[in-house]
Amino acid sequence: MSPKFSIIIPIYNVSGYLRQCLESLKSQSFTDFEVLMIDDGSSDASAEICALFTQDDDRFRLFRKANGGVGSARNLGLDKARGEWVWFVDGDDWLEPDALLSVSCYTSDCSLIDVGYFENQADKEVGFIGETGCFDLADYAERNFAFTVWKQIYKRDVIASNFLSFSDGLKYGEDQEFIIKYQCVCGGKACCVGAPLYHYRLREGSAMMSGRYSSIADDHFSVVENLADYCSEKSSFFDGWFKARVQRLLKSAFVALKNVPLNKESLELYSEKIKELDLKYKGRGLDCFSSVEFMLAKYSLSIYFKVMDFYMSVKKSKDERSKEED
């Protein structure tokens, strides 16, 4: 009999944190689950730690592969998964003891489950509590932006029937691409469990802390291009939501580029890329680049950055004057 949940863990050189992650799963009060540990070519003791958990608990399964990135590791987990629902958990994070029990109450009512979370950094922990209840998917999508794949739990049959997977070769933004694609096709309702159930460890050396800004920008441009290919026929129900997500991805690319020491000619090449994406989206009946902000970025990113700097300077001055008046 298939388990209720498949927990997929992409693992790469996290031996210092992995045991806490796996112990948090083993001690779950809800027991109908499997854990797929995907070792992505680790050079530390991660695989050995995983092997210990397979010895006395057949819910834990270990798969080893050559290093190919987090997307390829998650894809292997999807290929091996047998559960009704899929939860992606990172190997340096962990769950609350009743996490699976809390979300299991909603599995018959929806096609997507969203959870609250803790952000852990050094000795500091901050909880992010969301609303609780079931909502029309369009309403949920308009009001919630899941920035990472572990914040949501997905129905495996939706993933399989729509041939969803993570794009290989991307280090940044691949989870947002998967989330957007899933929400375009899943239908039904979204259920939110507002209580923090997931512990997200923000640490030095993690992908999000040590990323090269140019790679972040290039990967986000790739995601925007991939979404144009995928969503042109699937996003009409979410026109406003989809447009907002694409624009947010582009703004993330712009912020990253601003931290890269590029000359004017290099910036203009990125402006040409934005123009190409604009034409591609328009060719698929999607208009995501018509605001003044994106029209300026298409014309010249170097001018765009100067205008944004001026805007932020004016805003900062106004905020300071407001504080003085108060």
Average confidence (pLDDT) per 10 residues, the chain, 326 residues: 95 97 98 98 97 97 96 97 98 97 94 93 81 86 79 96 92 92 89 94 60 84 88 59 85 87 83 89 82 84 84 78 68
pTM of the model: 0.89
Predicted local confidence at residue 221, as pLDDT: 92
Same domain, yes or no, for 219 and 197? no
With respect to residue 258, please indicate whether it lies within any of the assigned structural domains: yes
Residue 116: give the domain boundaries: 5-209
With respect to residue 158, please indicate whether it lies within any of the assigned structural domains: yes
Cite the DSSP H helix spans in the chain: 15-26, 46-55, 70-80, 99-104, 137-143, 156-161, 174-185, 207-210, 213-231, 239-258, 264-283, 292-299, 301-325
Domain endpoint, select from 187, 209, 231: 209
The tally of domains found in the chain comes to 2
CATH number of 161's domain: 3.90.550.10
Predicted local confidence at residue 1, as pLDDT: 79
Same domain, yes or no, for 244 and 181? no
Domain endpoint, select from 209, 233, 259: 209
With respect to residue 326, please indicate whether it lies within any of the assigned structural domains: no
With respect to residue 325, please indicate whether it lies within any of the assigned structural domains: no
Predicted local confidence at residue 209, as pLDDT: 44
Same domain, yes or no, for 205 and 220? no
With respect to residue 324, please indicate whether it lies within any of the assigned structural domains: no
Predicted local confidence at residue 125, as pLDDT: 82
Predicted local confidence at residue 324, as pLDDT: 67
Report the sign of the C-alpha dihedral through residues 276, 280, 282, 283, in that order. positive
With respect to residue 30, please indicate whether it lies within any of the assigned structural domains: yes
Domain endpoint, select from 178, 209, 240: 209
Same domain, yes or no, for 56 and 38? yes
With respect to residue 299, please indicate whether it lies within any of the assigned structural domains: yes
Pairing of strands 60-65, 33-40: parallel
